[in-house]
Every structure is written in C-alpha cells, then in structure tokens.
Amino acid sequence: MTENPQNNSPEPPPPEKFFVVAIGASAGGLQPLEEFFTNLPDNPGAAFVVLQHLSPDFPSLMPELIQRRTKMEVQSIKDGMQLKPNCIYVLPPRHTLKVEKDYLKLEEHTSERVNYPINIFFNSLAEEWGEKVIGILLSGTGNDGTEGLQRISQKGGIALVQSPETAQFTSMPSSAIPYDFLDGILSPQDLAQAVYSLVGYSLNYPIAQVKATDLIPVEQFEQILGILSKYEKIDFCQYKISTLSRRILNRCAITQSPDLTQYVLLLTESETERKLLRQDLLIGVTRFFRDPPAWELIEKQVLPELIKSLANGEQLRVWVAACATGEEAYSLAILIDEAINAENKEISVKMFATDIDSKALEVASQGIYNESIKNDLTPERLEKYFTYKCGSYQVNRHLREMLIIAPHDLTKNAGFSKMNLISCRNVLIYMQPLLQQQMLRLLHFSLTSQGILFLGNAETLGEIETEFANIDQRWKIFRKHRELQLSLMPLSQPPLLSPVTILPKYNRNTFQFERVLDSVFDICFTEQRLTCVLINQDSQLLHIFYNSANLLSFSTGKPKLDITELVQTPLQLPLRTAIHRAIREQKDVLYTGINFLRNGVNELLNLKIGFLNKYPITNEFLLVLFEVQTRLEKPSSQIEFEVDIETAKQITELEYELQQTRENLQATIEELETTNEEQQATNEELLASNEELQSTNEELQSVNEELYTVNSEHQVKIQQLTELTNDIDNLLRSTDIGVIFLDNHLNIRKFTPTTSNIINIFPSDINRPLTHFTHNLDLPNLVEILSKFVADQIPKAIEVINKKTAEQMLMRVNAYRGENNNNDGVVVTFVNINELKNIQNQLQASKNWLENVYINSPVGLCLLDKELKFVKVNDNLAHINNLSVAEHIGKTGQELFSDWADIYEPLMHQVLNTGVALKNVEFQTLTPVFLQTRYWIGSFYPVVLENGQVGVGAVITEITEQKQIQQELERAKKRLEEAQSIAHLGNWELNLQTQKIIWSKELFNIIGFDFNLGEPTLTQLISKVNIEDQAKFVQALNQLKNQGISYDLDLKIIRHDDGGTRYINAIGKPVYNEQNQITDIYGTILDISDRKQ
C-alpha cells in the first residue's frame, strides 16, 4: 500500500481530562484576581471559572477587567457553555452555577434566601470532576466557599486559599483555614505558580494512563514513607499505592519542587511539610448521616433491637473507629439518644470515638461545625442537639459527654472489647488487602457475641465473611454470629517493601545482579564457611545471601520464616539474645566462641548482628552473619558468649519490662477510675439540678392552676368577642392589601400589617392621631385629602408611589359605616398595582420594540387591507418602490406601480380568499430604483388589522445576488465536469453519519455505471476493484474512516457495463469538524490505463 507522504501518521489520541480551576471571591476580590492572572502563563492547560459576589443592581465589568491581565479568552457564562482549557469563565450577577460533565448550567437566583454561589459550584464541580479540580478562595467576607472547598478535598481535588495577610477582607479565606483539608495558604502570585505547577505535573505524570506503581520511582516512594514513619510515627506502607502517589505528587506540585528528589529533601528538612503531607494522606471524608438509607436502617432496625436486648442497668458499648472530625460519631450518638428515649429504658452508654489524627480529634471534642451541616440534619435534630453560635453550630454538652474521644491507630493499637456496635466506615478502601484483613480480625475480636459491624458501602469482609451474618448487604451492616477468637495475623514490620516487590521495574536484570552477588560471595569467602541472611525486627527471614556453613535447616510442611527456628537448637539462644540486644541498643553486636557440636566435631562459631544505615528505611532490617572459625582471634570489641550469664541477663530485662508494663497498666486504670468518678460527680450534680428544676416546675404548675380557675369565669363572657376579634385579625393579617381604619377625627382604630410599610405606625400606636406620623407616599397633602373626605364624603381613588419600596399603589378612600349605617370614620386602602403597571409598561415596550423592528427590518414589509390598499409600509419597501412611506398609505399597488401589482395582487387575493399563507414565491420585475430586472422572494399571509378586519401582510426579500451566484455555480459545475471528462478524473464524497455518497459524472463513466440510475454505494465501488486489490483498498478505507489516515493507491478495476479492465489511481482524505472528529471522507479516482500500458 502506498501512503500519502504528507499525511502518513494517525491523529494523536485525545488528551487526558484537563484541570478546572474554580476561584471564589467577594469583597476585595478584584485585586487578587488581577494579580493571579497577571502571574499566570498564557497557556496553563486548564479551564478557569471565576465566581465573584457581584451586586445584582448593576452590570458587571469583571470580564473586561480580567481580560486586561491575560491573553486567555475571558467570557461571561451563558447557559450550556462548554468548558475548554485556556479559557476563563465569569459568573454573571443574580445567577448560580453548576456543571454537568463539560457543560456549565446557569440558573437565575430569584429567591430572597441568602445566596451561596461559590459553595454551590464547588460542590457540583467536585462531584463531576473529582481529582481534576483546584478550588481557590480569595479575599471576601462571610464563609461562602468553605463547605465547597471541603467537598473538593474529599473528592481528591486541591484546596487553596489566599493568605489573610495579603487579603483586603479576611473573613472568607480565614473561615477555611482552621480546617485540615487545605493544601496551601498562599499569596495570589504564589497561587498562580502553584496552579501552573499542579497542571504541569498532571501532564508529566498522567495518572489516568500510568500504573499506580509507576507514578513514583520505588526508591523515592520508600524514602518518603520511611521519613513519615520515622518523624510522624505513622506507617502508610499498607495503604493503596495509587492513592498515596497521587497525593504525594500534588504536594510536590504545590511546594513547587522541581522534581521528586528535591521534594524528598524538603520533606527531610521541613517539619511543616511533613505534617501537611501526613494530613493529606489521612483521608478524612465524613459528614453527618452520610448515606441516609444506611442510617435509616441503623435507626429503625439495628438500634431498637440492640436496646431491647439490654436489661435495665446494663451498658451499651459502642466504638466509632476512624471517626475523623466526629460527624459520624455524633450522628450515631443522636440516634442512640433517640432510641433510648423511645424505649424508655434505664441503660448507660459508653461510646468511644477514635482516630489516628489528633487535629481531627480536637475538632470532634469541641463539636463545632460550620453552617453547612444544616443540609444534613433535620430542623428538629438541629434545634435539639445543637446550639448556634457566631455562624457555627456546636453540639450540645450532654451529647458531647456521651463520647470518649481518644487517639487510636487501628494498624498498631489493640482494640476495645465487648462492643455491641462498631462503626468503621470507608477506612478499609484505602488499604491493601493484608492490612484490611488484619483490621477486620481486630474488629471481630472487639465485638461481643451478636455484636453489629457497620462498614462503608464499598467495603467487604473478605476472608472472615463466614464469621458474620448479613443484616443488609448493600449498606454493609453485619452481625457477629458466634464467639470465636480469630488469629490477628500480625504484619511484619517492613511492609514498606511490599509494594516494591511487585513493580514491573524489577526485571531479569535484577536476577542477573543476584547471580553476580552469589559469585562475589563464592570468590571472596572460598576459604571461609559463612551463613549470611537478612531479617526484620520480628526475626522474619527476608533473604539468604550465603549459606556455605550450612547452618540453616528447613523442614517439610508449612514453611517457617522465624530465623531462630531455622537454626539448630544450640544456636537458638545466642541468636535470640544477640537480636534482642541489637534492637534494644540500636548498634551492632558480635559474639564469639559459640560451641557447636556437629557430626561429632566441636566447632567454634562467631555471630554478628548488624544494621544497614544507607537509608532511613533500612534501619528496620538486620543482617545476621554466622562464621565457622578457622583461626581464633579475640579483638577487644568481641564479647565471649556465656550461656548462663546471657540467659540470666535476658530474663532480668524481660522481668523489668514486665514490671514497667504492669505499673503503666495500673496507672492507666487509676486514671480511668478518677475520670469515671469525676463523670459520676458531674452526673450527680446534674441530677440534683434537675430535681430542683422539677420542684420549681411543680410550684409554677400550682400557681397556674389557681390562675386558670379565676380566668375560667371570664371565658364564657368574652368567647363571642374573642371569636369575632380573631376573625377580623385573621382577615386583616392574611390580606396583602394595606388597610387603615380611622375615626372622624383621623385617630387610628386598626390597620393591617402591610400598612406599616406605607405609614410609619406600629401596633402600639392604636388610638393615636394620624397627624402624629410620617408616611412614605409621594402625597404630601394626605391629611388634607382625608380631612376633606370627612367633610364631603366623596370617595376618592388616587395613584401613589411608596417611596420606601418604590411600589406603585392605588389609594382608595371610603366611608366607615357604623351600626346604623352612619358615617363613623374613614377606611383607606392601598392596593399594590406594580404588576399591573409593569404589564402596561411591558406591553408598551413590546409595541415600541415591534415597531422598531418593523421600521428597521432589512427586508420589505407591508400590511394591506381587504381592498389591497397599503395600511403600513416600512422604509425598505418604500425605497424599493422609490416612494416615501406616506405616499403608499391609503393607495393600491395599481395606483402606484401597476407592473408590481399585476404580479402580487392575484397572490394576495388568494390569501384573502383561502386564509392560507403563501411562502417563498419567486418572481422577477423591473423596479423604479434599479431600472433592470431584479429577482425577489415574497411571502404573503393573512392578518387581523387593528379595526378587526381581515387584511394581508407581505414580506419581500431581494435575491438577485443569490440568483447570480447560483447561475455562476451552475456554469462552474459544467466546466468542472468537462475538465474531469477530459482528464478522466472522477471524485466521490461519503457522509459517515448518514452514509450518503455523492459521485461525480465522470466517475460513472470510469467505473461503467449508468448515471441515470443514481449513485452506487461504497460497497458497489469496492466490488468493482480487482479481487487482488480489494483487501488493500478495504483496509485503506477503514484506516481513513477510523483513524483519519489518507491513502494514495494504484488499483485495477473491472468496469460494470462492459467488464473491461482499467487501471486507476485512488486517493482518499478525511474531513474534520470543530471537535477534531472525522465527519466525512472523500476521494478521487484517476484513469491511468494509458500510463500503465
């Protein structure tokens, strides 16, 4: 196959999903926005959405102001606009914004409720784009955006805020700083650099296209985890590599480290960065009643059964593991409190809330959360269990005291015991399978028989599934169905290496180096008998380097990896003692002169335990070396091993450690007892206070009963009056009409609440003269008008304006009729006619607009009555006729231009008679202006004129230029067909969506098809290619359609009509749309038979 040399490579694959940078700002936000975009390169590779709190009363100039600072295109957002990289989108005033896939959805904000556009968009963007979101909060007041930033962080995105010292208004960025989800607090200039670095790193490390184990080199990955293990005392080695790698790369980009090597150095030197990375890796995703259906099951099924199973006086024990900032723990505490109250049982609750993150536990212990929690809680629970303070909600004290909050590492610390319910949700999903099973066995051990285990809906029980019964499989609620102690499967200490051993980079070259290492030992230690192995601090065998001394023995059955069990019995005690001393003293140990009887020969052995100090991570490993002495040497650093002394010393050390452990345990028990006593004392104080309040309540109840007895005598007398008053009050309250009742001296009798917005009066002003008060009407002589009405009793209706609300109102003044139909005062009503006025104004505006469109339309427009006299004509039609508009009105076409009239009047009569419009009627005529033949399209339609009579309207459009172009195209087409016929060159084009194909006339002649029968299909064209060339031609067509690869082929064909053989040169090319998608393909076929012959 021959390819076109100018287009011989396929189009590149579509790029990975780009970043979306969402920027929220309020007061003082323009300056940091300008500084941010000034310092941002022109093509950062991300889309930017700016959400600035703007006044709804004035047009926004924000797009124009930002455009001055960047070369990227800045647009005001319109509904349905598609996100594209290197573009900036600005939210217009009075709107909120969401995103659906790549499209922005704009909604007008009409509610009077407080608008939080930044939170709304941040939440929507986090759900749709996840890890490809960077959220930024700049200067502003309030706390809009804090909740949204937290959601972005929970979904794996990046959360940044402007540093308060660079912000003009600090409330908005400062509201997010106390939380632990932030990835950076930077100046606008540094924010721009951080965003550029993050996007750059995503291009250099395309996470979606690379295996998790290839994101970060093995050695650097181990170094980072080793640093965190050493300094932060937390082991991430069994967490999922992909999650850790992405977050490490994000931190690397935020700190603007040029590469991972520099970031490792920064991590070693900076305690702040270590804590920030640790916080990023501790994924704290939580909120109140997350997954409501699961909590509904807990509330209605699980807790009632648990509480019913407990007798009065028993204790309900609950453990919320990995509670983060406590939302889930307090959710469970609320349900427990409600369930106990519903069952009316006297049971105590001991509830543990634990987490590895001490900062998150501080938030949980304070129980203070932002206003966004009201979206997750019912109003009743919010009112009962929370107190609103300074823009935040705090959990009430009695609920906080239900929880015992403490730090706890599920991977290291022992679990609590005899738990009725354990909640450990969405923790296991971030860990590798071995660690998951260890934690599940720990939770199984902690549960009492028939205890409940509550997991995240993406988590499973794995190997211990048979130990639980399903309560709800979808929401992962299980019941422990038997009391069986499972082995806890302790992890060996160096699992940092576990992700390394499966890396693809560990290829056959590694095995070549191992063979070389074996050869080195053979060459260097030919004269010596050695056994050299690598172990971890749990004495587990990791690697055997050399074993010429043959001191290791392996038995059949299940393999043992404990090094002390792999050597013979006489060597086990010295080996165990040496390892213990090396770990305790953190230095190398050398024992000499160990007697070992083998095969009837007494041998002397040297034993050395050594550390590997090249990297921090290798401090977890020890090198064990046994050497059979060939020549006895006793350097000063050697220690002669004596069994009795060493054994005694080891026993002494173990006894000392045991004593220390007992003392620590006793101290812990005493502290818990003290705490329990303090809580008991507090409980007794609260009980005493409750009793005092109960006594007071009883006294008040007694007084209330006495008052009720006295008042009951008056109730019957005033019942009718009360009902009547209530009816009037409800009528006045429910109406939106302002009504005020006055006596004949203009004293106030009664008024509706709406009246207070018109006249500045309050309910306490009843019986005071109206003259004492000001009003908001543009009617300075209101009192005079009312006084005149009292005198002449002539009703009045006046249109007025409420200057306070700018509402237009109709004021009516009527008489107040007394019991005997006497004039006993004045009734003044105020009806809001704003809507009516607005409709009138809109109708007038619409009329003016339509009139303007009619006058300025680029086509000729006119209206004629049933006698075909002109009623209305626009300037364009008048210009065509070379007459003024006024000269047309009231005259027929026959009176003005008979040639025109002879053409269109029959058509108009047809429309008047049938009532059916005629569309796009072509005609030609001479006009007074051009004095040459011109072409026109006219449409005629029936209308109802203002006088109610039927008329006809006309729209006249000139198409002279189009006709000329059409004629020229026809001539060009004929010339092209003649040229193709001379050159024996035909062409075709195929629409891939409709599969419609178009052939040129010469192509019919070359292939031998009948032109009058229409275009053959692409399959028919292929069938005419010689059988030897068909496969090549079909392959070229498929590559053209699917990959956009052009082709240039010489083929042999069999003509359709006469079966003759011809040689052709076939060329094919693709056609792309704006989205770089192939929509059509086209090709040419040149008859080259003469050239071939």
Express each pLDDT in 1067-1078 by its tens digit.
Answer: 999 999 888 899
- The answer to whether residues 777 and 788 touch, using CB atoms and an 8 Å cutoff, is no
Same domain, 258 and 297: no
Q: What is the CATH number of the domain that holds 248?
A: 1.10.155
Same domain, 185 and 221: no
- What is the per-residue pLDDT for 503? 33
- What is the per-residue pLDDT for 23? 94
Q: How big, in percent rounded to 5, are the helix, strand and coil portions of the chain? A: 45, 25, 30
Examine the fold and report which residue of 177, 204, 231 is the final residue of a domain before the chain moves on.
Answer: 204
683 has a pLDDT exceeding 80 = no
| Of 530, 561, 562, nearest in space to 547 by CA | 530
pLDDT digits (tens, 9 = 90+) for 610-661: 887 654 444 578 899 988 886 444 444 455 555 556 666 666 667 666 766 7
Q: What is the band of 708 on the pLDDT scale with cuts at 50, 70, 90?
A: very low
Mean pLDDT of the chain: 79
pLDDT digits (tens, 9 = 90+) for 80-136: 999 999 999 999 888 889 999 889 998 887 666 657 889 899 989 988 888 889 999
Distance separating alpha carbons of residues 398 and 523, to the nearest angstrom: 75
Same domain, 31 and 76: yes
Sheet holding 823-832, edge to edge: 748-751, 738-742, 823-832, 807-817, 796-802
Report the Cα 1047 to chain-centroid distance in Å: 45
Residue 365: CB atoms within 10 A of its CB come to 16
Number of domains in the chain: 7
- What is the per-residue pLDDT for 114? 59
Same domain, 173 and 308: no
- The answer to whether residues 354 and 319 touch, using CB atoms and an 8 Å cutoff, is yes
Does 592 reside within a domain? yes
26 has a pLDDT exceeding 90 = no
Q: What are phi and psi of 390, to 5 degrees?
A: 50, 50
964 has a pLDDT exceeding 90 = no
Does 374 reside within a domain? yes
- What is the per-residue pLDDT for 813? 92
Does 661 reside within a domain? no
Q: Exposure pattern of 938-947 as b/e (b: 16+ CB <10 Å)?
A: bbbebbebee
713: left (phi over 0), alpha (psi -120 to 50) or beta: alpha
Q: Exposure pattern of 894-926 as b/e (b: 16+ CB <10 Å)?
A: eebbeebbebbbebbeebbeeeeebeeeeeeee
Q: What is the band of 318 on the pLDDT scale with cuts at 50, 70, 90?
A: very high
Q: Strand, helix or coil at 1035?
A: helix
Does 602 reside within a domain? yes
915 has a pLDDT exceeding 80 = yes
User: In the predicted model, what is the mean pLDDT of residues 1031-1039?
Assistant: 91
Examine the fold and report which residue of 620, 641, 662 is the final residue of a domain before the chain moves on.
Answer: 641
Q: What are phi and psi of 153, to 5 degrees?
A: -65, -40
pLDDT digits (tens, 9 = 90+) for 988-1016: 899 888 888 888 888 888 888 888 888 88
Examine the fold and report which residue of 641, 659, 677 is the final residue of a domain before the chain moves on.
Answer: 641
Does 701 reside within a domain? no
pLDDT digits (tens, 9 = 90+) for 562-593: 888 888 888 888 888 888 888 888 888 888 88
| Of 91, 41, 291, 53, nearest in space to 172 by CA | 53
User: In the predicted model, what is the mean pLDDT of residues 309-323?
Assistant: 89
Pairing type for strands 46-52 and 87-90 reads: parallel
Does 685 reside within a domain? no
pLDDT digits (tens, 9 = 90+) for 743-762: 888 899 888 888 888 888 88
User: In the predicted model, what is the mean pLDDT of residues 448-467?
Assistant: 84
Instruction: Point out the least confidently predicted range of 32-36, 235-239, 619-623.
Output: 235-239
330 has a pLDDT exceeding 90 = yes
Q: What is the band of 335 on the pLDDT scale with cuts at 50, 70, 90?
A: very high
Best-predicted range by mean pLDDT (269-273, 540-544, 854-858) = 540-544
- What is the per-residue pLDDT for 509? 42
User: In the predicted model, what is the mean pLDDT of residues 271-284?
Assistant: 72
Instruction: Point out the least confidently predicted range of 317-326, 416-425, 661-670, 944-953.
Output: 661-670
Q: What is the CATH number of the domain that holds 953?
A: 3.30.450.20
User: In the predicted model, what is the mean pLDDT of residues 904-910?
Assistant: 88
More confident residue, 483 or 15: 483
Same domain, 467 and 404: yes
Q: What is the CATH number of the domain that holds 145?
A: 3.40.50.180
Distance separating alpha carbons of residues 927 and 860, to the nearest angstrom: 13
Same domain, 986 and 941: no
Q: What ranges make up the beta strands (E) of 299-446?
A: 315-320, 348-355, 368-370, 386-389, 392-395, 403-407, 419-424
240 has a pLDDT exceeding 70 = no
- What is the per-residue pLDDT for 506? 38
More confident residue, 608 or 481: 608
The residues facing 763 across adjacent strands are none
Same domain, 171 and 54: yes
Residues with Cβ within 8 Å of 950's Cβ and at least 6 positions away in sequence, in order, are 866, 912, 942, 943, 944
Same domain, 946 and 876: yes
Please state the pTM of the whole predicted model: 0.37
Same domain, 315 and 263: no
User: In the predicted model, what is the mean pLDDT of residues 248-267?
Assistant: 78
Report the Cα 396 to chain-centroid distance in Å: 31
The C-alpha angle with vertex 438 and arms to 437 and 442, in degrees rounded to 5, equals: 115
Report the Cα 852 to chain-centroid distance in Å: 47
CA distances from 208 to 15, 18, 225, 238, 1018 (A): 11, 11, 23, 22, 39
Does 682 reside within a domain? no
Distance separating alpha carbons of residues 128 and 972, to the nearest angstrom: 52
Report the Cα 1055 to chain-centroid distance in Å: 62
- What is the per-residue pLDDT for 527? 66
Q: What percent of the chain has pLDDT over 90?
A: 11
pLDDT digits (tens, 9 = 90+) for 165-207: 888 888 888 888 877 677 778 889 888 888 887 787 666 554 4
Distance separating alpha carbons of residues 451 and 179, to the nearest angstrom: 34
1029 lies in which domain range? 964-1092
Q: Exposure pattern of 812-821 as b/e (b: 16+ CB <10 Å)?
A: bbebbeeeee
Compute the chain's Rg from CA coordinates: 45
Instruction: Point out the least confidently predicted range of 53-62, 232-241, 326-335.
Output: 232-241
Same domain, 242 and 337: no
Q: What is the band of 599 on the pLDDT scale with cuts at 50, 70, 90?
A: confident
The torsion defined by the Cα of 379, 381, 386 and 392, in degrees rounded to 10, comes to -40
Distance separating alpha carbons of residues 288 and 373, to the nearest angstrom: 7
Q: What ranges make up the beta strands (E) of 344-491?
A: 348-355, 368-370, 386-389, 392-395, 403-407, 419-424, 447-455, 468-472, 477-480
More confident residue, 178 or 914: 914
- What is the per-residue pLDDT for 493? 41
Residues with Cβ within 8 Å of 1036's Cβ and at least 6 positions away in sequence, in order, are 1, 1045, 1047, 1049, 1068
15 has a pLDDT exceeding 50 = no
- The answer to whether residues 927 and 881 touch, using CB atoms and an 8 Å cutoff, is yes
Same domain, 818 and 891: no
Does 775 reside within a domain? yes
Same domain, 24 and 153: yes
